[in-house]
Amino acid sequence: MSFPPKKPRRLRRTPNVRRLVRETALTIDDLILPLFVREGKNERRPIASMPGCFQLSGDELLSEAGKASAAGIPAVILFGIPDVKDAKGSGAYDPDGVVQHALRALKKSIPDLVMIADVCLCEYTDHGHCGLVVKKPDGAWDVDNDATLDLLARTAVGLADAGADVVAPSAMMDGQVAAIRTALDEAGHHAVAIMAYSAKYASAFYGPFREAAESPPRFGDRRSYQMDPPNVREAMREIRLDIEEGADLVMVKPALAYLDVVSRARNAFDVPIAAYNVSGEYAMLKAAAANGWLDETQAMLEILGGIKRAGADMILTYHALEAAAALRSDPHAGPRE
């Protein structure tokens, strides 16, 4: 007896059949909204390279975070833009710093929203690097890894004091997770989780973020401490080290050009994995949509669905509010012709 050939198209015939066999579901629960907070009041400064995104004063931040909460988005991550920067990035660990103020206000106003705070010095240093810069005997510059650890730990504790539920070290300093976990525990913040930027690549896709955060390096670049883009085995080592040091969640950044890294990490590690759909990826889609080259909503859902399919448990994306609106209007939304 012969059997007819399989016909996969039978399971694609109608929307409801496709729903029944769909392997990956993107939901609002997967989304984290990044927000930029600056000092002042009634400030809502557009970011030219990131249409629809703004530098927000504290009052405007409350409004934007309120929209996220009302949309069902479970978490936001905050990046600070201080009025004054210095060589040591002291605004990062100032108890009265811009993010610390924002966290206290958010925790009081929207206590159920998960507050994630970025832990890095680049937004606060006048040179734009992620740690303390020193001159070597030959006159060249370098970032002092171990001296930076103390400041990152101090920053994390201050952010936890202000109400952060999760701290997210992104400086790519060796040993930063262990230093922060130790400092948090010693300060009594045992319940504060660490989302480690474990596989953070030296990417060209960060350009718009550096405009948004006013943090481009004044000299050199960050390739000596961020990861080399061609490497994936190195990413697995970085992730493993961070987990061993106490990371509760790990991140791959950027997302689109590194979906293989997300997939490898998902297969190798049994911890929640975040992927950062970064500013350059957002800006490319916005530009293509503005020119009529792509359907923005459908392309957005396809991109975010692809990141989820690769293995991400959560996605940091500037599209979060737009994605939530699309998913709320049609929970089964997905790319379609």
Domain ranges of the chain: 25-329
Q: What is the pLDDT of residue 333?
A: 66
Task: Read off the pLDDT of each residue in 57-63 and give the average, rounded to a whole number.
Answer: 96
Residue 336 has pLDDT above 60, yes or no: no
Closest Cα to residue 115, out of 158, 168, 184, 71?
A: 168
253 catalytic residue (yes or no): yes
In the chain, % of residues over pLDDT 70? 95
d(CA 271, CA 247): 9
pLDDT tens sequence across 209-253: 888 777 777 766 676 778 899 999 999 999 999 999 999 999 999
**Maximum Cα–Cα distance for the chain, whole Å?**
82
pTM: 0.93
| Distance spanning both ends of the chain, measured CA to CA | 40
Q: Which tokens hold the place of 84?
A: 């004054």
Task: Read off the pLDDT of each residue in 99-118 and give the average, rounded to a whole number.
Answer: 97
Residue 334 has pLDDT above 60, yes or no: no
Active site residue: 6, 67, 85, 200, which one? 200
Q: What is the pLDDT of residue 337?
A: 43
Least confident range of 82-96, 101-115, 148-162: 82-96
Least confident range of 20-24, 38-42, 152-156: 20-24
Q: What is the pLDDT of residue 335?
A: 52
Mean confidence (pLDDT) of the chain: 92
Looking up tokens 């729903």 gives 19
200 catalytic residue (yes or no): yes
Closest Cα to residue 171, out of 151, 141, 193, 192?
A: 151
Active site residue: 85, 88, 253, 308, which one? 253
What is the DSSP-derived secondary structure letter of residue 28? G
| CATH architecture of the domain formed by 25-329 | Alpha-Beta Barrel (3.20)
Higher pLDDT: 143 or 225? It is: 143
What stretches of 29-170 show up as alpha helix (H) in DSSP? 58-70, 98-109, 145-162
